[in-house]
Structure 1
Amino acid sequence: MRIVFFGYGELGATVLRGIAPHHEVLLVLTHRAEFSGLGEPDVELAAAELGLPVRYSATAREPDLHEQLRDLAPELIVSTNWRTRVPAEVLRIPERGAVNTHDALLPAYAGFGAVNWAIRNGEEETGLTVHYMAEELDTGPVITQARVKIGPHDTAGQILERLLAEYVPVTLEALERVAEGHRGEPQPPEGASFYHRIGVEDTRIDWRDSATTICNLVRGQSDPFVNAWTTHRGFRLWVKAATRPTRAHGGTPGRIVKADYGGVVVASGGPGDGDDRGVVLLQVSTETGPPVRAIDYFTTFGEYLH
């Protein structure tokens, strides 16, 4: 099919490289590398390697871009990790519409940070959904999906790697279905949810939470994402890895209790959390230093994390 590709970052580049040998890519639309401070030139680099024309846009709202798209007359727009809402008038230009590959099992986890939120919420499964694009973000009919299990200790970085391996196969399968005239299945209202973008303030540890909630936050915000954090002696401390102790450690939430279990135990939760109290910090880093073992970083106990 004759395609215009919208994408950004590693995810976008992965899909572009995967579909280019099988379809005629007329134009690659991407954001500038410095878009929103993300600094990801992956799509423009992939397009250069493939010898494909590139255009930059933040919002795809430029009238001359719309005119260019109409002149190109694509059969389909394919989107992966495009970071802004695509205008409705753009979605109507291609003969077969526009499709997007989203990193969740829609209708759940529409929006942003789906991998992170799924792990933070303790989900046991996530995946990818290729769907037709509608005016409302991530709500169009579903063409196909791929599923990935989430283990109890899996991190967001690990799940991202597994999803990356599925992006090209599931997108190519969806494009075959589109070419055959498949119009997708409407998303049911049951189980539908939308999540906002994750900022630094959304990853701060609340030591009043249960051990499971805190550990899910830490693994859900593992590298390469914004890490979970707390403050120690008034300075931000990133928590890179943590686990639960084999018995509850209660008391005042945030108190640094002792060195044990290969790390440093911090009290968390409240009486209502029962055995689900206490977190073992395994690896931390300051804002200016490299990751270090928690037992090497903390030299005194009885202080508090906030």
Structure 2
Amino acid sequence: MRITLVGSRHFGVTTMNTLRQHGVDIVRVVVHDGEDRLAAAAQAAGIDLVVQAHPKLVIASEIAPRTDLIVTAHSHARVTREALATAKLGGIGYHPSLLPRHRGIAAVEWTVKEGDPIAGGTIYHLADRMDAGAIAAQEWVFVKKGETARELWERALAPLGQKLLADVIYHAKTHGSLPATPQDEEFATKAPSLTDAKH
């Protein structure tokens, strides 16, 4: 199973480490910033590293040859249709909400802001529209009263993301395919950046 990992920051690093512990072959890491901690971790591990030419887009030439699956972990770049087509199984990402609820950059913040008693995580297929691809795996967790978005992310949603990614990749290795359940658009809500929303 040859994987190109697109990501950044702490979640990108923990995803890289988790997948490698599960015997997954990460053949390339793609980052938007060469100074990012994921870039340093990839270099330390001897993994081929590519810095995106455009910070908001991942293009076909940035995906490693003969990639089976593209995995995104804390990436805000869109993986182009051409890039997805280079990978045998396309691409998946982790979104820290019960998609289609809270599509967008600030899903955890909106979960807390809306007072949702239940949060969750979704592994979804990368598609043209952000956070709108078919669901490969999904699980829910309770939200503690008074919990901040950061606390909820660190306590429950980040570890859930690692677990679900490992589960889905194991399924892909075993079956050569990915589960796919279309999202129900009737229940879609947006989770735009709260800092932008104030202006």
Q: Is the pair's TM-score, using the shorter chain for normalization, greater than 0.5?
A: yes
Question: Counterpart of 1:59 in structure 2: which amino acid?
Answer: K
Residue 93 of structure 2 corresponds to which residue in structure 1? 100
Q: Which among 139, 154, 165 is matched to residue 161 of structure 1?
A: 154
Q: Contact between 1:47 and 1:53, CA under 8 Å: does it hold in 2?
A: yes
Q: Distance in 2 between matches of 1:77 and 1:201?
A: 31
Residue 25 of structure 1 corresponds to which residue in structure 2? 26
TM-score by length of 1: 0.59
Question: Counterpart of 1:107 in structure 2: which amino acid?
Answer: P
Q: Distance in 1 between matches of 2:196 and 2:170?
A: 40
Bigger drift between 174-183 and 3-12 goes to: 174-183
Q: Unaligned 5+ residue runs, structure 1? A: 35-40, 205-306
Give the secondary structure class of the aligned counterpart of 2:89.
coil
Matches within 5 A, 1:152-191: 152-162=145-155, 163-179=157-173, 180=175, 181-191=177-187
Q: Unaligned 5+ residue runs, structure 2? A: none
Higher RCO by CA contacts (8 Å cutoff, separation 6 or greater): 2
Residue 130 of structure 2 corresponds to which residue in structure 1? 137
Q: More helix by proportion, 1 or 2? A: 2
Q: Distance in 2 between matches of 1:122 and 1:61?
A: 34
Q: Contact between 1:143 and 1:177, CA under 8 Å: does it hold in 2?
A: no
Matches within 5 A, 1:24-173: 24-32=25-33, 41-57=36-52, 58-61=55-58, 66-67=60-61, 69=63, 72-162=65-155, 163-173=157-167
Question: Counterpart of 1:196 in structure 2: which amino acid?
Answer: P
Q: Check 1:4–1:128 CA distance in 2 against 1; reply closer, same or farther (3 A cut).
A: same
Deviation at 1:178, TM superposition (A): 2.5
TM-score by length of 2: 0.88
Question: Counterpart of 1:105 in structure 2: which amino acid?
Answer: L
Give the secondary structure class of the aligned counterpart of 1:12.
helix
Q: How many residues align?
A: 193
Deviation at 1:59, TM superposition (A): 3.1
Q: Distance in 1 between matches of 2:16 and 2:139?
A: 18
Residue 212 of structure 1 corresponds to which residue in structure 2? none
Matches within 5 A, 1:162-241: 162=155, 163-179=157-173, 180=175, 181-199=177-195, 202=198
Deviation at 1:44, TM superposition (A): 1.2
